[in-house]
């Protein structure tokens, strides 16, 4: 017999967020009703902290843990409670490899809760700094986001709406990180080797005295299929 549900984990894109990246009043009402009944709510997303902070309404900014960067970080009330990040030396080596690569890449990295990008990106609303990434990696990096660009001058559209390149010819990267290819191979997430949303969720559960059997996950393939229960569906 299943244990009673005590925590609901929600993915963002395609689940909690509508196509305009807002959360509907109906969904917020359902979440409030769950919290009133004593259920915990957690966010689980590949998005970096700064992006989650920009998108979520005020009611989900307090006392709701955010699993960010595909499980590389857990934040609650803007405090980082858990991190599984790429160490400084490895992150510096990754940057050098990407800058030396023959293929032209759009690269973003998340460090200390801030987003840095190697070139201007029209339509990128998340607060960020455009800079030479080789000059700023002085702390562990939560995540790299890499886009392969066929023609850089024509692909400076919104971050989430760039046309995919034909192939992602990602160069060999140093040990101490792993690559997740997405968007038909045109985008890569570079993470610490042990990063997973399920591992980060375990941290959230431990803080609340819960276990995986008490979790219901909505819409997140990285969580559906673990020891809890999952529904691959939209909730908005």
User: For the domain that residue 131 is a member of, what is the CATH number?
Assistant: 3.30.1240
Residue-range definition of the domain harbouring residue 210: 7-84+195-231
Same domain for 40 and 13: yes
* Nearest residue to 140 (alpha-carbon basis) of 69, 207, 196: 69
Give the model confidence (pLDDT) of 145-155 as tens digits.
Answer: 998 775 343 34
Looking at the structure of the chain, the number of domains it has is: 2
Same domain for 127 and 62: no
Same domain for 127 and 65: no
Mean pLDDT, rounded, of the chain:
86
Same domain for 12 and 102: no
pTM confidence score: 0.84
Give the model confidence (pLDDT) of 203-219 as tens digits.
Answer: 999 999 999 889 999 87
Cα–Cα distance list, 218 to 19, 34, 45, 228, 233 (Å): 17, 14, 11, 11, 6
Q: Is residue 13 part of a domain?
A: yes
* Final residue belonging to a domain, choices 160, 176, 191: 191
Same domain for 139 and 45: no
């Amino acid at each position: 017999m299943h244990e009673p549900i005590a925590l609901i984990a929600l993915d963002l894109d395609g689940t909690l967020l509508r196509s305009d990246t807002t959360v509907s009043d109906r969904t917020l009402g359902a979440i409030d009703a769950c919290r009133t009944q004593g259920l915990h709510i957690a966010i689980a997303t590949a998005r970096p902290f700064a992006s989650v902070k920009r998108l979520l309404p005020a009611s989900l900014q307090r006392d709701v843990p955010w699993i960010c960067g595909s499980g590389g970080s857990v934040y609650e009330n803007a405090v980082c409670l858990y991190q599984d990040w790429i160490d400084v030396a490895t992150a510096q080596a990754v940057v050098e490899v990407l800058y030396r690569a023959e293929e032209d890449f759009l690269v973003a990295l998340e460090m200390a809760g801030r987003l840095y990008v190697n070139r201007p990106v029209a339509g990128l609303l998340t607060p960020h700094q455009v800079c030479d990434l080789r000059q700023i990696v002085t702390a562990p990096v939560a995540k790299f986001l890499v886009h392969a660009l066929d023609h850089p001058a024509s692909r400076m559209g919104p971050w989430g709406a760039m046309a995919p390149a034909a192939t992602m010819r990602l160069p060999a990267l140093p040990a101490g990180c792993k690559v997740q290819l997405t968007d038909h191979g045109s985008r890569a997430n570079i993470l610490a080797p042990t990063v997973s949303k399920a591992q980060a969720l375990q941290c959230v559960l431990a803080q609340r005295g819960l276990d995986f059997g008490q979790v219901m996950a909505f819409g997140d393939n990285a969580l559906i299929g673990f020891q809890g229960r999952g529904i691959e569906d939209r909730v908005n």
